[in-house]
Structure 1
């Protein structure tokens, strides 16, 4: 527009001078540079700025030590060598030993993987650089790889450093022909950085994932992630120590026994235990109490496991009766088969459940027999069996029970070799092309379990009616109340199917 107006101001083309030509060239050059900048800024500048902000945000020196990590004694001992190497590297270098480049924490969520990584940085007074695997995933090709390079350059500059990559499976999944090119470039850059450490720089990479099976083999090999450490749910002793850590700043009633609480929380993760301790404190404040008692902890366990209590449920009397017999069926069969310790039965709606049976094993178990798995399926299907026996029809209330029972039966057939298909573990290819055969095997297990559940209930129908009647009147039955009911009928436990 400026050039056009300029030409209009000139009387004729023959009057154009060298000065006019220079002005036209200058204006054209300025416009061209401005156009190039407009095209470049939306893609390149935001990515660079994001990296700089990210680096400043993630750099930190945690004040957490191993004293703040409870219940993971074996893992802390395993990490002591790495810590000692960072603090006293000359001893190991003198012997020709090299520091592990990478440590991979894997296991279920909420078990303390991030806390352990921070504790390692705190014990060594190292810089802690946190990154999530999803932060490296971008739609622009090359941005993820650049972020990996920037992260490792900063770690080397500020060494000793701990780089913690949470949910590393977001960028470390197995490569194949159908994989995303940007993810592959990011993973390749991570592999190069793990290989290319300068030996004078004390930089350790700690990765965390819930899905070790998804990671690329090149990432798992020695020289990259040298050590793989499984962090599972805590056992009874570990749960006791975790609860002590999370209750040491809370006013507890003298009647509280931490060991008893640890036994009631079998199978829960460290994060769930911390949540239970916090929920107990919140409930105590809500009830205007100065001390946290057992009642608050029991309510907190129900809140974490079963969900939020619905105070004003609009449930029909008929539905309430169905729920009472459904939960009575679960409790009756669980008690007779002695699979787990029934802590509480309730028909008070929580979350999406109209009722529930709170039960835990009396001790930590790592191996289960075929008979014990069959008993678990029988207990899961007992609620539906009770509905059919009492009301001559079934409801939609057994949806979750059916899913859990089917999953156990599927594992028995496909993974444990506990079916008529023999002692084999079935891979994905076999599952895809022989699904009908496998489905029949699963159905055979669940049908047999369902028939056993109905048999047990029919033989103890008086107890079922008694439990359901008490539930209709009181809405809940605790462990002692259930034991009192069974004493009236003198029923032997551990029913042999």
Structure 2
């Protein structure tokens, strides 16, 4: 309050000083005083452009200079050839009125800026103090309202964490038995699987304060602020124990130290390690952290006594997807078979499933339908998986190539029973990438599906389009991993040019397969021309009929 008052006084004083300076500049007499001889010479040479008479002086203005001479030294006859103006002092009044108007407008603008969020006088100070405020504001716990019932498909994870919940509810049971709970639990898994929600559910089920921080919030531009923030976080948790600290994306601060520099991040990591070492077994504080990059975490962070327990949260299985979808569809009007949607969402995480249900519901509303149907899910699936892209306008010839390309891909994918439900002519992707353990023939089937479009265009047109690049890149990547990482070549160590030979073999086998399925591909092309989409079941009917 005192600071704001002193700032206001300084501002008013500065404004007063500016006004004095302006008045001085406007009202001061800056004419050079001359003698009668000088005045007579200027007048005789006709250099004077303007004559102004005041009470005490006569002012003579030329092109370059401004002179004055005392009125008592001159006579009216000297100015008989000039038009003389009389200075009545009205200019001073005009100046004063201008200043009053200026001050009035300035005062109004100043008051408006004080009430406005854009305060010029404080904007720089506010920008400089934002980071300081973020790092000095007190650490406060949050109340979690998430339960395990709100999270579907985490039965295995729930079993791992129920022990921790029980420990926080009944610590004496474990102490009398001589057992201690892990000081830290690391949730490891890909983005979107619900790691943060799981931590919130643990805090809710245990009924303890929940302290949330992201790893990035510790990495400050001010030296020492990150370490200070860590200390404050752990102090607050200990003072309110039993409690849970959750550090999201811990890899932002917990990356492996290279020993070449001692920057703010490493100082923060050192403080985190020290705080976790300082835990007493009876402190009642458990640290839960989440990451999807466990391979880059510092080894000191993962050793026993810090993050002792690691819980891997994987992508949901089919049964788990059914459970998740059931929860999201509970409040949405539908008559859907949840198993069918679970079958078509292989590779989806919990967040993607939530987005899928929401997009399907929004599409249903846009189309003025009374309930969500399976067709709504088919239309929005690719949008959720790959994002919505603006499609290029295709000429008739380009569309002919694309139809053949997509028809061959969907035929091959159906023949090998790859996981998909429907193909859209406008979609570049058919099945999502997967890192699940796959057998050699399953990987080869996927590569053949990726090559099928090029093979079919080669059979029909003797060339293919540049749009095949995405599929070709993925096929090369899979073959490279099969030979270099999985040891699926002729020997465990790949030989020279083996990748080229391997790819050529798969290309030839795909060509032989598609030549036997040309009738099916033609039928699929007709459907794509008509509807621009086709389901896996439709293709399967064609294959069963012609084989």
> TM over 0.5, yes or no?
yes
> Is the 1:345–1:358 Cα contact (8 Å) retained in structure 2?
no
**Does 2:289 align with 1:210?**
no
Alpha-carbon distance in structure 2 between the residues aligned to 1:95 and 1:279: 51
Map 1:355-366; keep pairs closer than 5 Å.
Answer: 356-357=429-430
Distance 1:189 1:438 in 2: 49
2:181 is aligned with 1:99: yes
Aligned to 2:482: 412
**Matching residue of 1:427:** none
Cα displacement (A) at 1:227: 0.4
Mapping for residues 376-415 of structure 1, pairs under 5 Å: 376-415=446-485
Q: Cα deviation per residue 1:340-399 (whole Å; 9 max; x = unaligned)? A: 15522221x35xx3xx535899xxx95422122112111111112222222222222112
| 1:418 shift after superposition | 1.2
Q: Given the superposition, is the C-alpha separation of residues 461 and 291 from structure 1 closer, same or farther in structure 2, using an over 3 Å criterion?
A: closer
Secondary structure at 2:139's aligned position in 1? helix
Instruction: Give the alignment partner of residue 372 of structure 1, picking from 430, 442, 454.
Output: 442
Instruction: Give SS of 2:272's match.
Output: helix
1:419-430 equivalence runs, <5 A:
419-422=489-492
**Larger displacement relative to structure 2 (240-249 or 131-140):** 131-140
Instruction: Give the one of 526, 534, 538 matched to 1:469.
Output: 526
Q: Which residue of 1 aligns with 2:412?
A: 333
- CA drift of 1:47 comes to 4.6
> TM-score normalized by structure 1?
0.79
Q: Is the 8 A contact 2:190 2:292 kept in 1?
A: yes
> Which consecutive unaligned segments of at least 5 residues does structure 2 have?
1-124
2:332 corresponds in structure 1 to 250
State which of 396, 399, 421 in structure 2 corresponds to 1:317. Answer: 396
Which residue does the alignment assign to 1:268? 348
**8 Å CA contact retained: 1:47, 1:143:** no
In structure 2, distance between residues paired with 1:304 and 1:62: 28
- Given that residues 340 and 360 in structure 1 are in contact (C-alpha distance below 8 angstroms), is that contact kept between their aligned partners in structure 2? no
Whole-angstrom distance in 1 between the partners of 2:254 and 2:315: 24
**Match for residue 483 of structure 1?**
540
- In the TM superposition, what is the alpha-carbon distance from 1:91 to its structure 2 partner? 1.1
Give the TM-score normalised by the residue count of structure 2: 0.72
RMSD of equivalent CA atoms: 2.6
2:423 aligned residue = 345
Counterpart contact for 1:61–1:125, Cα < 8 Å: no
Pair 1:135 & 2:192 matched: no
Q: CA deviation at 1:60?
A: 0.2
Q: Which residue does 2:134 correspond to in 1? A: 50
Instruction: Determine the C-alpha separation between the residues in 2 that align with 1:301 and 1:399.
Output: 23
Q: Deviations over 1:112-149 (max 9, x none)?
A: 11110000010112111111111122333322212211
Q: What is the SS of the residue equivalent to 1:55?
A: coil
Q: How many residues align?
A: 423
Match of 1:27 in 2: none
Is contact 2:182-2:309 (8 Å) kept? yes
Specify the alignment match of 2:47 in structure 1: none
For the 8 Å contact 2:135–2:225, the answer to whether it is kept is no
For residues 314-346 of structure 1, give each alpha carbon's deviation from its aligned partner in whole angstroms, at most 9, with x where no partner exists. 22111111111111111222233x241552222
Deviation at 1:295, TM superposition (A): 2.0
Higher relative contact order (CA 8 A, sep 6+): 1
